Amino acid sequence: MIEMNFNKRLQAASGRMDLKMTIKVQEHTFTTLYGRSGAGKTSTLRILAGLMTPEKGLIIVNDKIWLDTKRKINLPPQQRNIGFVFQDYALFPNMTVLENLQFAASPSQGKKQLDDLIEMMELGTLQDQKPQQLSGGQQQRVALARAIVQKPRILLLDEPLAALDHGVRHKLQQYLLEIHQEYKLTTLLISHDIGEIFKLSHNVIVLNNGEIIKYGTPKEVFVEEEEEMFYLSGEVINIDYHSDVIQLSVLIQQKHFKKITFPKDHPLKLKIGDKIMISSKISNPIIHKIDY
C-alpha cells in the first residue's frame, strides 16, 4: 500500500499553489490522476519518486518509510525502486534500444528476463536502433519496457500516451494492462482521456488546484446516476442553434465525429471546447458537462 500525506508549495502558471495530498493507494491497483494542467499531477508523481521534496509530509510504501520530514528521512530516488515513464520518454540517445534496457537492468539480472520482456513488448526488430530513429509509439514502448526491466513494484506514468495517435494509443493501452497484470504492479497514471481512464483504471483521483476534489472508481467519479448505461466522452467542436433545437458536433475519442441534437431549452449551457460525457439508456441520451 502507498500512503501519501504531504504539502508542497508550487510555483504554477497562475501563481503560488499549495499541493495537498492525502491518499492511500492499495497494492496492485491501477490509479489515474486526472485534472487540468497545473493541478499538481506531475508534482505528485515526482514527489512519490523522490525527484522533488515536499516541505512537510509522510510517504509510507508497504510499511517502509520513504519520506518523513519530521524525522528527516528522505529516501533518494535510487533506493525507491520505481519504474517511471516520462512524458518525453527520456530514452538515452547515446544507447541503442537494447543498451537502454541493459542499462536499466541490475547486474544480477539474467538475460532470460530481458529477452522475455523484449518479446512481450515486440521490440525484437528494434533492438539495435537508436531512440531517435524510432517513431513516437515505438519510443513509448521502449520507455515502458525500460521502466519495468528493474522489476519495480510501482510504475508511474506521466501522461505517456498523450502525444500518440488513436490507433497506437489503443495498442499501448493493451500493453499497459498486460504489464500491470503480469508484473503485479501498483500503477499510477496521468491521463486526460476519460475513455482511457475507464478502460485502464480501478480508481481515479481528480485534482484541482493542488487539492483532491474527487476520488473513486471512474464510474463514481464521472457519472452521477447509478443506472445501466453506456458512456462516451468527447469534446464539443461546434454548436449550431436552430429555431427549436441545438445541434452539437462532438469529437469522441479523437476519432469519431457525431452530431447530437437536443431541445433548445435544455438546462446545460455548453460552449465549444467543453468536455462532455454522453450516457445513454438506449434512446434517451443524457449529457453531462465535465467541469474539471
Partner 1 sequence: MNWTPIILTFQLAIVTTIILLIIAIPLAYWLANSRSRWKPIIETLVSMPLVLPPTVLGFYFLLVFSPNSGLGYWLNEYFNIKLVFSFAGLVLASVIYSLPFMVQPIQSGLSNLSPSLTEAAYLMGKSKWTTLAKVQLPNIRTSILTGIVLAFAHTIGEFGVVLMIGGSIPGETRVASIAIYDEVEALNYTSAHFYSFVLFLITFCILLLVYLVNGGFINRFWR
Q: Does 51 bind partner 1 (CB under 8 A)?
A: yes
State the residue for C-alpha cell 481528480.
Answer: 206
Beta bridge partners of 57: 6
- 126 near partner 1, rule: CB under 8 A: no
- 20 binds partner 1, rule: CB under 8 A: no
Of residues 7, 22, 81, 109, which one binds partner 1 by CB under 8 A?
A: 81
The identity of residue 169, as a single letter, is: R
Is residue 49 involved in binding partner 1 (CB under 8 A)? yes
Q: Is residue 229 involved in binding partner 1 (CB under 8 A)?
A: no
How far apart are the C-alpha atoms of 30 and 25, rounded to whole Å? 9
The residue written with cell numbers 482521456 in the block is 193
93 touching partner 1, by CB under 8 A: yes
Q: Closest by alpha carbon to 236, among 264, 214, 262, 260?
A: 260
- The SS3 of residue 245 is strand
Q: Which CB, 8 or 80, lies closer to partner 1?
A: 80
We find the least distance from the C-beta atom of residue 210 to partner 1, in angstroms, to be: 22
Residue 7 cell numbers, joined: 504539502
Q: Which stretch binds partner 1 (CB under 8 A): 99-107, 161-169, 212-220, 247-255?
A: 99-107
Minimal distance in Å, beta carbon 18 to partner 1? 22
Stretch that binds partner 1, among 34-42, 81-89, 203-211, 274-282 (CB under 8 A): 81-89
Q: Which amino acid is at 219?
A: K
Please state, in angstroms and rounded to a whole number, the distance separating the CA atoms of residues 130 and 139: 10
Question: If binding is defined by CB under 8 A, does position 243 make contact with partner 1?
Answer: no
3-class secondary-structure state, position 276: strand
Per-residue interface string for the shown chain with partner 1, residues 140-169, x marking contact by CB under 8 A: ----------x-------------------
Task: Considering only the C-alpha atoms of the chain, give the largest distance between any 2 of them, rounded to a whole number of Å.
Answer: 72
Distance CA 264, CA 245 (A): 5
Task: Tell me which residues touch partner 1 (CB under 8 A).
Answer: 49, 51, 76-84, 86-88, 90, 92-94, 103-104, 106, 150
